[in-house]
Structure 1
Amino acid sequence: MPDNPAPKAPPVRKRKFLVIADGSPEASKALHFATLRAAHTDGAVTLLAVIGPADFQHWLGVENLMREEAMEEAERVLHKLAAQAYDQFGVRPELIIREGKLREQMAQLISEDPDISVLVLGAGTSKEGPGPLVSSIASDAAGGFGIPVTIVPGDLSEEQINLLA
């Protein structure tokens, strides 16, 4: 009788919460919610900053300078949010910077990383609406990402977010 080894368990994957790091107050609310969810569910947080494509092809030096400044700003925002996540909740987020159009880069990252399972966005509180990204995703029935989208209202207090997450 041959020995049948026990079937291998699938590799353990850590559910990741994706937060868009754009430096807005809404991003901080989304991060607060995502880091708490990650801490409560043994998950992880990925922070994505997207630098828009430069459009100064005739002046390569200006384009390079603008790209460098945008990269420095993206790094500053990512590190500020990462410090907030670690200091408040003990979560060390994965930091990613990409260049291109925001929705395209979000979709590409989600398709490349099967562990990203929830997109967490913060909604603005201005009378113009919840913000361009939230409005864009809300107007597209499925969001086009193949994962759930959690929208954190911008007027929630830290205590309310703590209770929800």
Structure 2
Amino acid sequence: MSSQRRSYESGHKPKCLVVVDDTAEWDRAVYYASRWAVRVGGGVVMLRVIEIPDQNQQWLGVADVMRAEAIDIAEQALDRASGRANGVAGITPERVIREGDTIAQIRKAIEADVDITTLVLAASDGPDGPGPIVTAMVRHLGSFPVPVVVVASSLTDDDIDALT
């Protein structure tokens, strides 16, 4: 871990990092993190990662338009997720948009905020596997800088309430 966690020092509070993506199960991670935050007096940081393919210099204008559209979509997704967190737990999460490889940007978001103590993801119970982020994370779990909580998409609100 390159940055010492400071979440329990004076003037700090523990936070969960939740990745808001386009999968159906993101809601389970937001619900879990929001309930956890209320229980421990912590906070939630919501991350949306956008991936814009590299463009040649001659296509720079197209890349700028693509980036602007991706940021707009990211803001809308974070609006929905923040609204859910507020409705569930009466909290206003921090919002972060980063550009690049998802796993690398998750790591950078954690390194940038010494109060993040946990990464919360949700896993699909569908036939296609747990989802792209959970699948990609499996390769990195042994070297990850904070604990990772994976919430099953089959858990109901009542189930999560009992766990948090």
**TM-score above 0.5:** yes
Query: Aligned partners of 2:55 and 2:115: how far apart in 1?
Result: 36
Deviation for aligned residue 1:112: 1.6
- Alpha carbons of 1:139 and 1:100: their partners in 2 closer, same or farther (altered >3 Å)? closer
| Alignment deviations for residues 1-49 of structure 1 (CA, whole Å, 9 cap, x no partner) | xxxxxxxxx5231100000011322211000000000000000000001
- Alpha carbons of 1:141 and 1:107: their partners in 2 closer, same or farther (altered >3 Å)? closer
Aligned residues: 155
Q: In the alignment, what sits opposite 1:56?
A: 55
Query: Aligned partners of 1:24 and 1:140: how far apart in 2?
Result: 21
Structure 1 window deviating more from structure 2 (41-50 vs 99-108): it is: 99-108
Over the aligned positions, Cα root-mean-square deviation in angstroms equals 1.3
Query: Aligned partners of 1:139 and 1:63: how far apart in 2?
Result: 31
Query: Aligned partners of 1:74 and 1:129: how far apart in 2?
Result: 24
Q: In the alignment, what sits opposite 1:77?
A: 77
Deviation for aligned residue 1:59: 1.3
SS at match of 1:59: helix
Structure 1 window deviating more from structure 2 (146-155 vs 47-56): it is: 47-56
Query: Aligned partners of 2:93 and 2:69: how far apart in 1?
Result: 23
Identity across matched positions, percent? 35
> Larger radius of gyration, structure 1 or 2?
1
SS at match of 2:91: coil
The AA in structure 1 aligned to 2:82 is A
Q: In the alignment, what sits opposite 2:131?
A: 131
**Are the counterparts in 1 of residues 123 and 150 from structure 2 also a CA contact under 8 Å?**
yes
The AA in structure 2 aligned to 1:20 is V
Query: Aligned partners of 1:98 and 1:34: how far apart in 2?
Result: 20
Q: Does residue 1:34 correspond to 2:18, yes or no?
A: no
**Are the counterparts in 2 of residues 110 and 145 from structure 1 also a CA contact under 8 Å?**
no
Structure 1 segment 1-165 matched on structure 2, within 5 A: 10-57=9-56, 58-142=58-142, 144-165=143-164
Alignment TM-score, normalising by the size of structure 1: 0.88
Alignment TM-score, normalising by the size of structure 2: 0.89
Q: In the alignment, what sits opposite 1:3?
A: none
Structure 2: 5+ residue stretches without partners: 1-8
Structure 1: 5+ residue stretches without partners: 1-9
Query: Aligned partners of 1:50 and 1:104: how far apart in 2?
Result: 10
